[in-house]
Amino acid sequence: MSKQIVVVGGGVGGTMVANQLVSKLYPEIQRGEVKVSLLSNSPDHFYKPAFMYVAFNLFFEEELKRPERSLLRPEIRFIVDEVTRFDFARQELRTRGGKRQGYDFLVIATGCLPAPERIEGLKEAGDHFYQYAPARQLAQRLSRIEKGRIFITVSFPQTPNVPHQCGIAPVETTLMLDDFLRRRGVRDKVEIVYTYPTTAQLLRNCLFLQRPTGEILPSLFEQKNIRFQRGFTLCKVDPDQRIAYSEEGDAQPFDILMATPPIRAVDAVLESGASQAPNREGWLPTHHETLQVYGLDGVYVIGDTVDLPISKAGGACHNQAPVIANNIAAEIRLGAPNAVYDGRVQAVAQMGLNAGMPLWYDYAHDVLPTPPHKLGGLLRNGFNRGLYWAVARGML
């Protein structure tokens, strides 16, 4: 019997790891000893990090998607069906289409979902850019505003030391917003206020989830006349009065509330019984080095569903995918995993509409911020417009 490796999730993490598994285990696949399958709830693959550009009218939807099949190696069996239940005891998946899929090795790459409904009034009054339709709605609001107040908030998971989605995104979009309003000629009539919660992972009263970046933001914001406030933990929104309230007792009016909302795992992961995260957030207990799910043989997790203290972003998946592919190959060939993930994340942060800032960090080292520059902006644009698809295919 051939060994069945099943990857659940057609985002960048699942796509990368499936392609890399084929590369790593090609001899076994050719001999019929190993089969790799990928299940996704959509036939299309979206470049989700670019949704924030949609909020500033910089991408059309058609530019951000490709058929998932076109990104996968031909040896991968691609199934369009949503996994509705993980039966870890039987090493089996159940799908919305009524199918059952057994596995010897499983990679969970199901991502996370924005959950604005978890804060009273936020779904009704807030805007975000973490999905395409909300990003388009935000673009319409930002394109119409002539004067007023744009209030920016960030909400963290309640699970200790787990970050919000795409750690640098609130900073990126704040600086992009400043440029966007200047291009429209209304910046002097629109106040921008950036806020951050009292507790950001293990830091308190900061402006970003890592201290070095948080320390350079005040001067950067002051240069652009962006107001900033530490210690604003959103707890409630009044949609009628258009006021945001914090756990610290503050109340802030707004014309547009640009929020990083709470997040959670997908329903199938929430209902699997494997997560110990509070508030039904669903993060899976992940071995920091091997990326195995604690207590489950042959089960790995990648990307936004982990409970690791590193960014829930594509720059993390880029480094997690080869570790998982190597470890599954080592389990098959040697009987035990042998690769180690060091927490590495790298990206080029979009620091305004034209500038970029390369950044990288890992478990042991914080981000080392560098001055934003146009070359960084060109690098990010090149990644957005083409290199991403090569990364998803496992070519880079």
Could you read off the pLDDT of 350-367 as tens digits, one per residue?
999 999 999 899 999 998
Structural domain contains residue 352: no
The rounded distance, in Å, linking the Cα atoms of 334 and 274 is: 27
Q: Which pTM does this prediction carry?
A: 0.96
Contacts of residue 313, defined as CB under 8 A and 6 or more positions apart, other chains included, come to 49, 165, 166, 167, 168, 345, 347
Structural domain contains residue 392: no
The rounded distance, in Å, linking the Cα atoms of 300 and 373 is: 38
Last residue in a domain, options 200, 230, 262: 262
- Kindly tell me if the per-residue pLDDT of 200 is higher than 90: no
Tell me, what CATH number does 144's domain have? 3.50.50.60
In eight-state DSSP terms, residue 290 is T
Residues 199 and 155 in one domain: yes
Residues 235 and 298 in one domain: no
In the prediction, which pLDDT does 368 show?
Answer: 85
Residues 123 and 239 in one domain: yes
Residues 174 and 80 in one domain: no
In the prediction, which pLDDT does 395 show?
Answer: 80
Q: What is the CB neighbour count within 10 angstroms for residue 35?
A: 17
Which runs of consecutive H residues, i.e. helices, occur in the chain?
12-24, 26-30, 51-54, 68-71, 122-125, 132-144, 169-184, 211-223, 267-270, 314-334, 374-382, 388-392
Structural domain contains residue 387: no
Structural domain contains residue 207: yes
Residues 235 and 317 in one domain: no
Pairing state between β 113-114 and 263-264: antiparallel
Question: Mapped to the 3 state alphabet, what secondary structure does 60-79 carry?
Answer: CHHHHEEEHHHHCCCCCEEE
Among residues 368, 361, 396, which one has the least CA distance to residue 382?
396
- Kindly tell me if the per-residue pLDDT of 184 is higher than 90: yes
The tally of domains found in the chain comes to 2
Residues 167 and 233 in one domain: yes
Which residue has better confidence, 16 or 369? 16
Question: What share of the chain has pLDDT > 90, as a percent?
Answer: 91
Residues 270 and 253 in one domain: no
The rounded distance, in Å, linking the Cα atoms of 296 and 269 is: 14
Region 127-155 average pLDDT: 98
Residues 176 and 217 in one domain: yes
Which residue has better confidence, 17 or 200? 17
Structural domain contains residue 395: no
Last residue in a domain, options 214, 238, 262: 262
223: left (phi over 0), alpha (psi -120 to 50) or beta: alpha
The rounded distance, in Å, linking the Cα atoms of 84 and 78 is: 17
Structural domain contains residue 103: yes
| Contact present, 228 and 194 (Cβ < 8 Å) | yes
Structural domain contains residue 71: yes
Last residue in a domain, options 223, 244, 262: 262
pLDDT (tens digit per residue) in 214-240: 888 999 999 999 999 999 999 999 999
Range scoring the smallest mean pLDDT among 232-236, 276-280, 281-285? 276-280
Which residue has better confidence, 226 or 211? 226
- Kindly tell me if the per-residue pLDDT of 43 is higher than 80: yes
φ, ψ for residue 133, nearest 5 deg: -60, -45
The rounded distance, in Å, linking the Cα atoms of 26 and 40 is: 22
Does the CA dihedral 50-51-53-59 come out positive or negative? positive
Residues 119 and 256 in one domain: yes
- Kindly tell me if the per-residue pLDDT of 312 is higher than 90: yes
Pairing state between β 256-260 and 148-154: parallel
Query: Could you list the residue range(s) of the whole structural domain that residue 228 is in?
Result: 115-262
Region 332-345 average pLDDT: 97
Structural domain contains residue 394: no
Residues 188 and 68 in one domain: no
The rounded distance, in Å, linking the Cα atoms of 292 and 370 is: 34
Residues 107 and 120 in one domain: no
Residues 141 and 86 in one domain: no
